[in-house]
Structure 1
Amino acid sequence: MSRLYDTVEPSVIDDEMLKKAVEDQGPKEEAGKIAKQEGLDYSDVLSLRLDFRNVLKIDNLWQFVKLTKLQLDNNIIEKIEGLDALVNLRWLDLSFNNIEIIEGLENLTKLEDLTLFNNRISRLENMDALPLLHVLSVGNNKIDQLENLIYLRRFEDLRTMNLTGNPVCDDPAYKLFTVAYLSHLVYLDFRLIDEETRNKAHSLYENKLGELMHNEKQAKVEQDNQRKIETEKQKHVDAYVENLDDDFLFVALYKEDPEGKKLEMLPGIQDMLKEFKDKFLDVCHKIFEYGIQEYDKRTHELEEFYGCVEDAKNDNKAAGTKYIDEFELYKKKLFMDLLSSSDPTFIEDKVTEYHSKVNKLWDVIMGLEMQLVDQLEETIKDFERNLTDLMSLFVESVQGLITQLRDLENSHNEKLLETCMLVLEKVVKNELDEELPEDLRMLFVDKDTIVNAIGASHDVHLVKIDNREDEIVTRSGGWISALMKKIHTTECSRNRTRVVEILNYIDHIRDEIDTLDMPEAIRT
């Protein structure tokens, strides 16, 4: 069923193999010449063929981050691995290998076409991360369970599937079962599914499908709800106010506060504690609501910025394209005139004129690029200033609210100290109405002990509040730094790429007239 190991030693996907594959599949003639001069950049490669190379292990593909099509068919691969970096892959061919388990596809969320024809696969599994799967070819494998095909119902975009050559195809119920349970299929085993087959399959499995669809609907509702919860949680994290919409921070005050827990057992302390908690949570909710509000403002600012950048790039590109199109029309007519002329003076004048126009075009499109650089630099500065102001206001306001939390803690601590002093007085005079638990009584042996216990509890609470404040300040500042670094890096990369494009184009059009098929005597 699968390929046997050749007598040739298994190959390794190394830089030499990758370089040769990219060069063989790369642009030819002038474009190929330019590509070789610049060197190979694997991160720009969109398609890669590594078929018929006796490859045993998938490796060293991490640089091909823009790859959309990968052919690894007709090798001796035993395991699907090494594909994690290929997040833009849409087409993957692993047919005619020795693969036994479908795995290693977790990061290929954009994959649309997967071919695993002629391997050793016995089960359809581990493809949950492929929501866009449109074509699946798993013919000539070892799949033998009809029930396993139900797994494919999750792929709502799946339209074409091939299972020919699997033991499951020998089951008399195979075709109708598959059509019934995978109703979104259009082609099965290279044949269009006709309406008669669909109706027959639906009629035969209607009852079982009804129950399954009901269960799937419930599961989908639960998944959607869970997804919404996770999305909302992530928003809270990005707003730096996670867990401030509940009692998490208040509970944290006492989590590592053994003395505070003991003092909670004091008679009559519960009302005081409840008042403290209610006021504390009220301020926490204010921080939370304000944080979400400011997050929405920052998100809007980001969208506005990226929109402005995109508009500026598009306008600049349109202006440059206009000049290039005009030049290309001029060049086409000029070359026709040159090829049809035998007048040396005319040709010499026109060649001089051509080079002059090339220089002017260079000045114009480079000028446009410099103009765009200045424009984007100013836009980025304005954006950074606005974002910094927004974040500074956010941090300042949150610090003010956190100060209120400290004030509440200080006030509660003072009340607690007063209460404990009264209790200590009664303990000393043996006038306490209720018997204290042993752990609590040990705190009231003398004034220093109870004061130290209350002080220790107070310190723990203040540290927790301070830590939360520090976390918000640090994370918010770190986010701005990382974001601006990314924006500047992206713009520098764009500018470098554009300048190289312009240089290559200008060199190309200069070379074109030099290689024009004019009489040798005239050209020299």
Structure 2
Amino acid sequence: MDSKRIRDSEISQFEQFIRELNKYFKVKSIDSIQQYYNVEKKLNFDNELDDVKNGKERFQMSQQPLEDLHDDLMKFETELENQLEENMDDFERMLLTLIDEFIQAIEAKVAICRKAEDEYYEKVSNHCFHLLDKVPLEEMGVEVTPQLREMFEDKESLTEVLADCHAGHTSSFYAKVDNIRERCQSWIKEVLLGFRNTYIEERRRTRVFEIHHFMETQWDKLNSTKLSRSPSAK
């Protein structure tokens, strides 16, 4: 339970960090857009005062700020993606470390079980061999089944049956560890793939589309202003 609580806490903290990182770069993008709007507003105001400037001149004056805005937005996107990749790598290493520690803890407990199984096997073997040597099968006070009779037929048969039981118990311990390890590997693969798809791949596609759509809208506005101020439009 402690391992799960720690993993859940780390995942929650990472998700919160991702949200804060996105928020930080969103604010930077909004600031750049607002600065562009301020420049555009000033150019519009200056052009209203200066009738000499035509649409072409205004377009040329507004073109550079708009190109700068596009560069800023894409730069922020690149910076954000680089930071996301770096932190995703750190997050992956942290999860792998937690999983390794969890598996090691399981293996330590299995080692205790294995030791107890060895001790139990030794005690049961001694007891059974004592019965084989000292007590006739019919006097053991239990139902003499064909399996029991075969088991206590001789020392070799008894040794084989006890060894098979011991090997089966030991094998079940290791099979359990292997099962837990496989489930952990499947879990961490699913978590990391989901995070990369959501916070990097899907976010990148969505954000780049938003930037391109926004810039197309601004260019359309600028082009329409150029046409409206051209001599042929008057």
TM-score over 0.5 (shorter chain) = yes
**Which residues of 2 match residues 225-244 of structure 1 at below 5 A?**
none
Residue in 2 that maps onto 1:462? 170
Residue in 1 that maps onto 2:184? 476
- Bigger strand fraction: 1
Residue in 2 that maps onto 1:520? 230
Conservation of the 8 A alpha-carbon contact between 2:138 and 2:144: no
AA at the equivalent of 2:5: D
Conservation of the 8 A alpha-carbon contact between 1:395 and 1:473: yes
Identity of aligned residues (%): 24
Deviation at 1:522, TM superposition (A): 7.0
Conservation of the 8 A alpha-carbon contact between 1:298 and 1:387: yes
Residue in 2 that maps onto 1:509? 218
SS state at 1:415 partner: helix
**How high is the TM-score relative to the length of structure 2?**
0.89
Conservation of the 8 A alpha-carbon contact between 2:137 and 2:149: no
Deviation at 1:519, TM superposition (A): 3.7
Deviation at 1:349, TM superposition (A): 3.5
Looking at structure 2, the residues matched to 435 and 478 of structure 1 have their Cα atoms a distance apart, in angstroms, of: 51
Instruction: Kindly indicate whether residue 58 of structure 2 is the aligned counterpart of residue 350 of structure 1.
Output: yes
Instruction: Kindly indicate whether residue 121 of structure 2 is the aligned counterpart of residue 413 of structure 1.
Output: yes
Q: Give the one of 438, 442, 464 matched to 2:144.
A: 438
Residue in 2 that maps onto 1:389? 97
**Which residues of 2 match residues 479-494 of structure 1 at below 5 A?**
479-490=187-198, 491-494=200-203
AA at the equivalent of 1:445: E
**Which residues of 2 match residues 93-112 of structure 1 at below 5 A?**
none
Residue in 1 that maps onto 2:8? 299
- Unmatched runs of 5 consecutive residues or more in structure 1: 1-291
Deviation at 1:471, TM superposition (A): 1.2
Looking at structure 2, the residues matched to 383 and 421 of structure 1 have their Cα atoms a distance apart, in angstroms, of: 56
Looking at structure 1, the residues matched to 219 and 191 of structure 2 have their Cα atoms a distance apart, in angstroms, of: 41
**Which residues of 2 match residues 182-197 of structure 1 at below 5 A?**
none
Instruction: Kindly indicate whether residue 108 of structure 2 is the aligned counterpart of residue 426 of structure 1.
Output: no
Conservation of the 8 A alpha-carbon contact between 1:323 and 1:361: yes
The alignment of Structure 1 onto Structure 2 pairs a total of residues equal to: 229
Q: Structure 2 vs 1, CA of residues 519 and 436 (structure 1 numbering), >3 Å: closer, same or farther? A: closer
AA at the equivalent of 1:293: D
**Which residues of 2 match residues 76-475 of structure 1 at below 5 A?**
292-335=1-44, 337-338=46-47, 341-344=50-53, 347-427=55-135, 430=136, 434-439=140-145, 440-475=148-183
Looking at structure 1, the residues matched to 187 and 44 of structure 2 have their Cα atoms a distance apart, in angstroms, of: 55
Conservation of the 8 A alpha-carbon contact between 2:56 and 2:230: no
SS state at 1:438 partner: coil
**How high is the TM-score relative to the length of structure 1?**
0.41
- Unmatched runs of 5 consecutive residues or more in structure 2: none
Deviations 1:232-271 (A, max 9, x none): xxxxxxxxxxxxxxxxxxxxxxxxxxxxxxxxxxxxxxxx
Deviation at 1:404, TM superposition (A): 1.4
Looking at structure 2, the residues matched to 386 and 394 of structure 1 have their Cα atoms a distance apart, in angstroms, of: 12
Deviations 1:37-71 (A, max 9, x none): xxxxxxxxxxxxxxxxxxxxxxxxxxxxxxxxxxx
AA at the equivalent of 1:401: K
Looking at structure 1, the residues matched to 27 and 124 of structure 2 have their Cα atoms a distance apart, in angstroms, of: 72
Which structure exhibits the higher relative contact order, with contacts defined as CA atoms closer than 8 Å and separated by 6 or more residues? 2
